[in-house]
Amino acid sequence: MRRELAEDLTARSLVLSVPLLDRCGVPDHVRALTSAHVVAVEADLVGRLAVRAAEPAVDIDPLARTRLAVTAGGTGLDACQIAAVTALPGDRSLVVVEGVAGAGKTTTLAATRDLLTGQGQRLVVVTPTLKAAKAAAVEIGAHAGSAAWLAHQHGWRWTADGTWTRLAAGDSDPVTGRDYTGPAPAARLTAGDLLVVDEAGMLDQDTARALLTVADENATRVAFLGDRHQLASVGRGGVLDLAARWADPTACVSLDVAHRFTRPTQTADGATVDVPDVEYAAMASAMRTGRDVADVFDACTAAGRSGCTPATRSGRPRSRASRTAWPANGTVPCPARRGERRGRRAATRSSSPVTG
């Protein structure tokens, strides 16, 4: 009975699936099937990004661009950050800003907020998680919320199995049981506003589609910020890749200088001050790309920034403190996977649709 049930479910699933590879003989271990819904969501997402990228943009005139650069430069921004600050307040419907960890994306957004405020426009920041949104609100000084919150405010609803629907004004809300009356004032977007999706590499396609739909309806410009080499989306991701692929090349800015890493040093008069750690910033950038791994490890080891824990034949570390936290099966814990699990749990908890 179980075998027949499994075969029946498999057959039904195959009928409802869409092949990704148009050929026969695909090995069983290759994931070559998807659903029509997944294909439709990505096609709609790509279409909206392509339309935005093709829209004519009125670049800031040279004199205004010079004033912006001088204003931004006075805040201590580097050349890449100034390029981003001059691109974000412009008229482009789609902007992509990528940068390594510690490249100053938050500082860039704070400067952008000041410029937009001077132009009578508003900066709205959303992030995949509520925790990141709260940090952005404090550090940037702009209104910020989770991406799920903004989508929920504009009528989008979703179930545990990934079914998305949208309420119209007057519809009964299945979450609250009351009639849906539209977004709260803080969630309303207007023409000329800039909607910034921070940590966009973690954004899933369904939420991105909802955000772009809302932005299109309100003639709101959109900017994606993030790093494709950091933690990926919990669901179907690749949103930042799609945005970077379809955006106009002149609307894509890369922040390549890491400012977060410093090291203490002594001045001539004996005082201790923190200065930029250029060497470690370069190593961090190299680790981010995943290229020349052996050379990067050797460089970290030579600089005393990495080390190996001595282990016995069973694979367990020798120290008592390490043995306490070591898995019973003797396997080596993978920080990336452990961090990914934490990130997934955080994203699940922090993306509650009824919270900001």
Is residue 244 within 8 A of residue 252, CB to CB? The reply is: yes
Q: Is 341 exposed, middle or buried (0-12, 13-18, 19+ CB in 10 A)?
A: exposed
Task: Identify which of 127, 140, 250, 117 has the alpha carbon closest to the alpha carbon of residue 192.
Answer: 117
Tell which wins on pLDDT, 290 or 328. 290
Tell which wins on pLDDT, 114 or 28. 114
pLDDT of 38-86, one tens digit each?
Answer: 888 999 999 999 999 988 776 555 555 556 655 555 556 778 888 888 8
Q: Which DSSP string do the residues of 33-53 spell out, in sequence order? A: EEEHHHHHHHHHHHHHHHHHH
Q: Which DSSP string do the residues of 146-192 spell out, in sequence order? A: EHHHHHHHTTEEE-TT--EEEPPTTPBPTTTSSB-----GGG---TT
pLDDT of 160-175, one tens digit each?
Answer: 888 899 999 999 998 8
Is residue 290 within 8 A of residue 275, CB to CB? The reply is: no
In this structure, what token pair is assigned to residue 121? 């426009």
- Distances from the Cα of 182 to the Cα of 166, 173, 188, angstroms: 11, 11, 9
pLDDT of 19-40, one tens digit each?
Answer: 888 778 778 777 788 888 888 8
Is residue 257 within 8 A of residue 80, CB to CB? The reply is: yes
- On the question of pLDDT at 129 being above 50, the answer is yes
Instruction: In whole angstroms, give the CA distance from residue 36 to residue 19.
Output: 10
In which band, very low, low, confident or very high, does the pLDDT at 317 lie, cut at 50, 70 and 90? very low
Average pLDDT over all residues of the chain: 78
Helix H, strand E, coil C: the string for 220-269 is CEEEEEECCCCCCCCCCCCHHHHHHHHCCHHHEEEECCCCCCEEEEECCC
Task: Identify which of 199, 54, 51, 60 has the alpha carbon closest to the alpha carbon of residue 116.
Answer: 60
What share of the chain in percent tops pLDDT 70? 76
- Spell 60-87 as b/e; 16+ CB within 10 A means b: beeeeeeebbebbeeeebbebbbbbbbb
Instruction: In whole angstroms, give the CA distance from residue 108 to residue 182.
Output: 32
